Every structure is written in C-alpha cells, then in structure tokens.
Structure 1
C-alpha cells in the first residue's frame, strides 16, 4: 500500500522536482537575507545620525565656551557644524550627499515669575538656521514647555539640531514599490548651559 522511498532514489529523482523546489527555497532565503541587510543598514544609519545630532547639540550647548562667550548663534556657527557633520558622516562610512541640517534656537523674555503663563518667546533672539532643506518633525516652538526656570531667575533657552539624509539606496530600491519613503531625520534638543 505504501511505497518505500529509498534515500538514494530520492536524490537521483529523474523528475527534477527536488532541484526545482531547492532553487525556490534558495531564492526565498536570498530575498530574506537581502531584506535583513537592507533593514540593518537603515537602522544602522539612523543610529549613526542620532549620535551625530546629539554630538552637534552638545557643541551648540557648550558654544559659549567654544566661541568666546558669544550668546547668539550665527549662520557661520551652523556652517562650521555642517562641516563637522560632513566629517563625522564620512568617518562613519555614510555618504553625505544631499545632507541637510537645521538648528533652531528658542529664547524667552526676562521675567521674575516661574509661572508657565509668564513664559513668552523672544522673537528677536529666537531663530532658525539651515544648510539644505531639512524640516524637524516637531518645531522647537511647539516644545517650549521643555524649558525649565533656572535659579538665575530666567527661562533657559532651548536648541534643536535636526539632521536629514536620504535613505540608503538598498532600502529605497527594496521598499520603493510600497510607496514613498521619507528621508531619515534625527533631532536632538538641548538647553543652554
């Protein structure tokens, strides 16, 4: 009733179905490996971009010591940060083509009260500097509540550094039929020292 299958006969199968199935299995495994490599490259790039944005935010925070007690951020400072970010991306093995950066500052009017109602944004000092086209996911003005009231009797200024980079090409070609893939963005927020 049951036919006994000999292992040697199975390998030497004249019909060729084992080879065809084997080739399909290998193809599926290769596609899964390609998918895993693309996702890993994407996540690795996001992690590197996060580290660079946090480093640049730390430099913006400490710029009083770096730029001779200059309290106001300038476009020249942002250009210096852009050059530094290009170097950091290059040493991380990431192509810095179409790289963009935005640095936002948010200052507040002097007040004697720590009440949140008295936190008024100073539009003369609050600025946004960009090199390339890069818009943060959330504007710094929308996060003004993050500013603490200091012991010096003032609301502490906030800074946000946002880096934008196109997605890696392998990830883009793999997921492009699904829809448009947004560019990689990384933002870091810090307060003034």
Structure 2
C-alpha cells in the first residue's frame, strides 16, 4: 500500500508531459505549413515579376538594361500582387532584381533591391554572374540577357526566432526577348 501512495499523481505528470509534447508538435506543424505557404506565394510572385521583366520588347521599349524607374514599377506590381494574395505580407517583403546583359565576352550585371522592413537584405541563392551559362545564343551570335527576380517574405510565428527561417525566399531566372 505504501508503494501505491508514492505513485499518486504519476499519471498527471505523464499526461502533462504528453500534452506538452503534442502541443509543441502542433505548433511546429502549423509553422511548417505557414512556411510552405509563404514559399509557394514567393515563388508565384517572383515568377510573375520575372515574366514581366523579361518582356523587354513589349513593356520596356526594347531596352535590355534595367533602370531605377523599371525597378520602381516592378516593386509596385509586387506590392499589388501581395495585397491580392495576402494583405499582411505587403509591407513585410523584400525584392531583388538582377540582369545580365551585354555580350558573352563582356557581360554587364545590374542589381536593384528593396530590403525587408527589419533591414535584412533579400539576396538570391545564386548570384546572376554565376548563371551566365544559361544565356541563350541565337544562330547569328546574338546573346540574350537573363533576368533574376528574388522575392523574400517575412515570416511570423515561432519560426522567425530561428536563424535562416526569418523569411521565405524564391528566385526565378528567365531569358529576355
């Protein structure tokens, strides 16, 4: 009987530990789904912006080089796209647009960026200079430019406290016309 008295409350302690682990797992799964959703959203927006950036003939008077005015216009489009998809993300995003133009022997790289609200840079995973081998060449020797658009979205929830999980980013690289 003395042995049974020492175990009173053991079930309660085990239940508290079990429920705590279960709640932590639920928070982790919720953060993971939020991270995947943000990554998908960033991919969708970056591809849309890269598509509009590469259409130099149609939208930008056949200029292959980017200007600050082009970046400002694309940044406004990004804000509008994010408002329609998730209004809370409109202010918490970063944007980087890079272009690689010029001949294959003397390429010219340009970079325009908007930092996240926290001051962190929105950097692509691969610099555009390392992607020079992706530039298509026409039969007559004309080398087309490539454009890389990177969108970074600020994360909310518990994942923001872990290094490398403060924001979700996605890059899209497309050749120009």
Q: TM-score w.r.t. structure 2 length?
A: 0.81
Equivalent-residue separation in structure 1 for 2:134 and 2:89 (angstroms): 33
Partner of 2:112 in structure 1?
Answer: 129
Say if 2:120 is the partner of 1:120: no
How many aligned positions are there? Answer: 165
| Distance apart, 1:152 and its partner CA | 4.3
DSSP 3-state at the match of 2:125: coil
Question: In angstroms, what is the RMSD of aligned CA positions?
Answer: 2.2
Gapped runs of 5+ residues in structure 1? 1-13, 110-118
What are the residue-to-residue correspondences of 1:139-154 with 2, within 5 Å?
139-154=127-142
Equivalent-residue separation in structure 2 for 1:64 and 1:168 (angstroms): 39
- Structure-2 change in CA distance of 1:136 and 1:27 (3 Å): same
Partner of 1:84 in structure 2?
Answer: 77
What are the residue-to-residue correspondences of 1:15-94 with 2, within 5 Å?
15-93=8-86, 94=88
Match of 2:126 among 130, 138, 144: 138
Equivalent-residue separation in structure 2 for 1:134 and 1:46 (angstroms): 14
DSSP 3-state at the match of 1:107: strand
Say if 2:174 is the partner of 1:190: yes
| Distance apart, 1:43 and its partner CA | 1.4
Gapped runs of 5+ residues in structure 2? 1-6, 116-120
The structure with more strand, counted as a fraction of residues: 2
Aligned 8 A contact 1:147 1:191 in 2: yes
DSSP 3-state at the match of 1:102: strand
Match of 1:101 among 91, 95, 109: 95
Partner of 2:4 in structure 1?
Answer: none
DSSP 3-state at the match of 1:127: strand
| Distance apart, 1:145 and its partner CA | 0.6
Q: TM-score w.r.t. structure 1 length?
A: 0.75
Equivalent-residue separation in structure 2 for 1:73 and 1:134 (angstroms): 18
| Distance apart, 1:146 and its partner CA | 0.7
Partner of 1:7 in structure 2?
Answer: none
| Distance apart, 1:180 and its partner CA | 5.8
